[in-house]
Amino acid sequence: MSVITPSPAIRGRVLGISTAHAGVLVGLEAHAVRIEVSSTRGPSFFQMVGLAEATVRESRVRVVSALARLGHLLDEYAITVNLAPADLRKTGAALDLAIAVAALTAIHQLPDLAVSEYLLLGELSLEGRLQTIRGVLPLLLGAKKAGWTKAIVPAGNQAESGLVDGIEVFVAEKLDDVVSHLRGKSRLAVATRTEFQPGRSSGSLDLASVRGQATARRALEVAAAGHHNLLFVGPPGGGKTLLARLLPTVLPPLSFEEAIEVTAIHSVAGLVDPKSGVVSQRPFRAPHHSVSEPGLVGGGDIPRPGEVSLAHHGVLFLDELAEFRRPALEALRQPLEDGMVHIARARARAFFPARPLVIAAVNPCPCGYSGHPVRRCRCTDVQRARYLGRLSGPLLDRIDLHCAVPPVDVVALSTARAGESSLAVSERVAFARARQLRRFLAQEVSVRSNGNLNLQEAEQVTQLGNKGRHLIQEATKRLGLSARAYLRILRVARSIADLEDTEHVSEAQLGEAIQGRLLDRESGF
């Protein structure tokens, strides 16, 4: 077998091949990227291969300028950059640092062994400063899972990086600092541990400001206790929007595990505060009814999380539900059932968790005054039917509780006493959730709340007697409820029992849960 060797002239032009390591995100999933750089003496060019999108291809300009600021001109070199694996789509500017370091190594300005020890993440400015990037938390979590023990990230991502243990994360302000660290001349600072302090919803809103509306307040408490989706139906002025915005004030604080999940999603979207580095309060998202389907559930050419994922472990408020685009609402059905958004594109598939507590508000008709005790409705029966027909049965089936919110009489409003505060209600909600958690641990059930139980688990924890089974069978028959509605009645009944600290679900508690489905028949839904 003959071996072809390059001529002396060609051998004299070859400088070297180097490798650096970085990562990109597809959804929340981190993928390793190996940056290979080949450099030779000859006609100057800088080419890049490996399915790089526009932002990655533009890194050539940023890298060349940043290296020039360090005194390394690439005008005399022919640079080829290969981003492996070649069939993985590379997006974003987080590869800049790795490309710059690999280029320096290829022209023998950095030692190969030192570079190979680090995962390099960062965007470069033209003067060589490291800019804050999106998605640092999921990238580092993925690196830790893959076995990496060292990483270098921009200083602006220090707080977010401090959430990850088990991997030594160095932070840098400039490319020059990274080069000095890799040469062994100085040492970069290590990201300090970020302390997590859960916080409650801030602001002046308190449930004590709601006077009257005892049924709606009770529905809000049950929804919070068991993580049940809730629909308010009623004319304008009943307080539907106010009640919805008060829901976060009665929810328990985020746990550390929940905060990590929420922060990872917000990091991909670029919504994490660089100073705190973590989302410490349950998110509250209230998209306008003109939101598009990708904006609501996620999507785009480069998959990004939508509002339903940004509200993960928090509250998604859909005001004027019937005004939303029908395709957008129907796209919510699968996330509400599975707790996950699956985005499939020609060149990418992405997954985002989506388990918010959904609270929606809708008027009973286009003018809003159908059933109002004083104001006259101007809508015809056809208009009312067409308006309510925008909400499909399968979508409403996925909302556990339906609650009528009548208008509040002004006289009663001025004389009524203030209701319970958010703090008092939140204590009962926390007690009910703790009761659920103890039961799930004892029964080795993996769910976190009653709202996530499947049919077998729901029947196991409700333990209905003969009277209870007869009651729900009659209700199902008379109201024409689906199997999904039957499951939701069991879930809600179990949450009511947990709020009242009873081991078994009584007929009264089951009847209250059934009452939460009466709008299936009475409102024409």
pLDDT in tens, 437-482: 999 888 777 778 999 998 888 888 888 888 888 998 888 888 888 8
More confident: 302 or 324: 324
pLDDT, average across residues 188-215: 85
CB burial of residue 145 (10 Å; 0-12, 13-18, 19+): exposed
Average of per-residue pLDDT values in the chain: 90
The token duo for 292 is 């598009």
Residue bearing tokens 């009242």: 500
State the pLDDT at residue 523: 45
Q: How far apart are the C-alpha atoms of 40 and 341, rounded to whole Å?
A: 46
pLDDT at 519: 57
Q: What pLDDT shows up at residue 413? A: 67
Whether the CB-CB separation of 289 and 320 falls below 8 Å is answered with yes
Secondary structure element (H or E) that encloses residue 65, with its range: helix 59-69
What pLDDT, on the 0 to 100 scale, is given for residue 4? 42
Q: Which residue has the higher pLDDT, 4 or 434?
A: 434
**Residue 421 burial by CB count (10 A; 0-12/13-18/19+): exposed, middle or buried?**
middle
Averaged pLDDT for residues 217-225? 96
What is the pLDDT confidence band of residue 7, given thresholds at 50, 70 and 90?
very low
Residue 276: other Cβ atoms inside 10 A: 15
Helices (H), 184-306: 214-226, 240-246, 256-268, 293-297
pLDDT at 202 over 60: no
Between the ranges 6-15, 193-202, 435-444, where is the mean pLDDT highest? 435-444
Q: For residue 184, what are the contacts with CB-CB under 8 A and spacing of at least 6?
A: 114
With b meaning 16 or more CB within 10 Å and e meaning fewer, what string describes 165-201?
eebebbbbebbbbbbebbeeeeebeebeebebeeebb
**Tokens found for residue 142:** 């993925």
Q: Is the pLDDT score of 12 beyond 60?
A: no
Measured between alpha carbons, how far is 458 from 444 in angstroms, rounded to an integer? 14
Chain centroid to CA 323: 24
pLDDT score for 414: 65
Burial 85-94 (b: 16+ CB within 10 A, else e): eeebbbbbbb
The distance from CA 80 to its chain's CA centroid, rounded to whole angstroms, is 38
Cis bond upstream, residue 407 (ω within 30)? no
> Is the pLDDT reported for residue 329 higher than 90?
yes
Range 14-190 classified under CATH 3.40.50.1980: no
pLDDT of residue 201: 65
Domain range summary for the chain, segments of one domain joined by +: 14-190
Task: Enumerate the β-bridge partners of residue 151.
Answer: 119, 169
Q: Which of 100-109, 210-219, 488-497 has the lowest mean pLDDT?
A: 210-219
Give the model's pLDDT for residue 257.
94
- Whole-number Å distance between alpha carbons of 420 and 388: 33
Residue holding tokens 């508000």? 361
> Span 417-435, mean pLDDT?
91
Which residues neighbour 189 within 8 Å (Cβ) at sequence distance 6 or greater? 155, 170, 171
Q: How far apart are CA 233 and CA 245, in angstroms?
A: 15
pLDDT at 42 exceeding the cut of 90: no
Q: Answer yes or no: is pLDDT of 231 > 90.
A: yes
- Provide the 10 A C-beta neighbour count for residue 265: 27
- Output the pLDDT for position 524: 44
**pLDDT tens-digit series, residues 158-192:** 999 999 999 999 999 999 999 999 999 999 999 99
- Over residues 125-146, the mean pLDDT reads 97
Nearest to 174 by CA among 110, 126, 218: 126
Q: Assign 3-state DSSP to the chain and report helix, strand, coil percentages, each to 5.
A: 40, 20, 40
Nearest to 161 by CA among 118, 121, 114, 129: 121
Average of per-residue pLDDT across 299-318: 93
Q: What is the pLDDT of residue 373?
A: 83
Q: Assess whether pLDDT exceeds 80 at residue 121.
A: yes
Strands (E), 64-188: 77-84, 119-120, 123-124, 130-131, 150-154, 168-172
Determine the Cα–Cα distance for residues 420 and 432; give it in Å rounded to an integer: 17
pLDDT over threshold 50, residue 521: no
